[in-house]
Amino acid sequence: MAFVLVDAANAATAPDLGAAEPFGVASSTFTNSNTAPQTIINGDVCYTTPPTTFPLTINGTITTPCAPAVGVAQGQALANLLGQACTSLGPGDIALDAVVIGANPPGVFPPGCYSSGGAMNVTLSTTVTLSGGGVYIFRPGGALNTGDNSTVLLENNACASNVFWAPVGATTLGANAALSLTPTFVGNIIDAAGITIGHFAHLSGRALAFGGTVTTDANTISVPTCAAIGPPLAVPALAAWAMMLLAALMAAGGFVAIGRRRRQAWHRGAP
């Protein structure tokens, strides 16, 4: 496996998802391949052609078909992502688990924008780690593929809502050996070429394929949110009596210091 060495990453900013923000799945055709266990979507869903295989558990609003505003928002978000300066990982296909950014171990990415001339892949049974608070953008010049039992995970305050995948080709997320509550893939996938989520894969993010097809198979898809950063703590003002006491103490300290210097000067001058 070849390693790609990259010194640093270009900074990235998150696009506004607008009308697409509440959707876990937005598609023209929505296909569900499994009846038991059920696919669970924690977020809104819209489609033109409904799944032929049920049941599904959708903890959100179902809209048929997707409102045009969702497609407009998806297109605007994609244009924003494609317009940002990116760090190139190479002219061809790239295995993300083999990429070295700065002093990080292979497959560990700091926030930034990353592009490739070909597909971006995650090798079978490997892990890619997004480490640090900030925005992550991945722009494959081809497809986005993850191998079976591979994982893209977050650490050090990275948040799935701030991760964006914008491939030119279709997205295929590999199957997982067993259904787990732990996400096997994270981020907002914006891909009108189609998104296929393998058996037992768990997406913490969004599958946005307005105009394309989303295929699920005993998955859990959860629309993520990032924890809000609270305002800085206010420094309480001292009460008036406390200010007076503090002034008195400072004045007393000053008199003591002056008296000490006078006594020292008298002792130096004494015979």
* Count of domains for the chain: 1
- Whether residue 259 is contained in a domain is answered as no
**Exposed, middle or buried by CB within 10 Å (0-12, 13-18, 19+), for 50?**
middle
21 found inside a domain: yes
130 near 157, Cβ under 8 Å? no
Residue range 217-222: mean pLDDT, rounded:
95
Q: What percent of the chain lies above the pLDDT cut of 70?
A: 81
Q: What is the pLDDT of residue 206?
A: 98
Range 212-222 average pLDDT: 96
> Is residue 264 assigned to a domain?
no
Q: With bands split at pLDDT 50, 70 and 90, how would you rate the model's confidence at 6?
A: confident
d(C-alpha 204, C-alpha 184), whole Å: 8
Confirm whether 247 is domain-assigned.
no
Domain membership of residue 168 (yes or no) is: yes
Residue pLDDT, tens place only, 57-101: 999 999 999 999 999 999 999 999 999 999 999 999 999 999 999
Query: Which range of residues forms the domain containing residue 185?
Result: 4-222
- Position 88: which residue type? S
Q: Is residue 252 part of a domain?
A: no
Q: What is the mean pLDDT of residues 156-175?
A: 98
pLDDT value at residue 158: 98
Residue 246 in any domain: the answer is no
C-alpha span between 16 and 167 (Å, rounded): 18
Q: Which tokens belong to 60?
A: 């959100």
Res. 233 pLDDT band, cuts 50 70 90: very low
Residue 243 lies in a domain: no
In this structure, of 28-42, 113-127, 150-164, 215-229, the range with the lowest mean pLDDT score is: 215-229
Three-state secondary structure call for residue 57? strand
> Is 217's pLDDT higher than 50?
yes
Supply the mean pLDDT for the chain.
86
Contacts of 169 (CB under 8 A, 6+ apart): 119, 140, 142, 143, 144, 193
- The number of helix segments (H) and strand segments (E) in the chain equals 2, 22
Residue 170 tokens, joined = 């279709």
Distance of CA 216 to the CA centre of its chain: 21
CB under 8 Å to 225, separation ≥6 — which residues?
Answer: 161
pTM for the full predicted model: 0.82
pLDDT of amino acid 3: 62
Q: Considering Cα of 54, then 71, then 15, then 136, what sign does the dihedral take?
A: positive
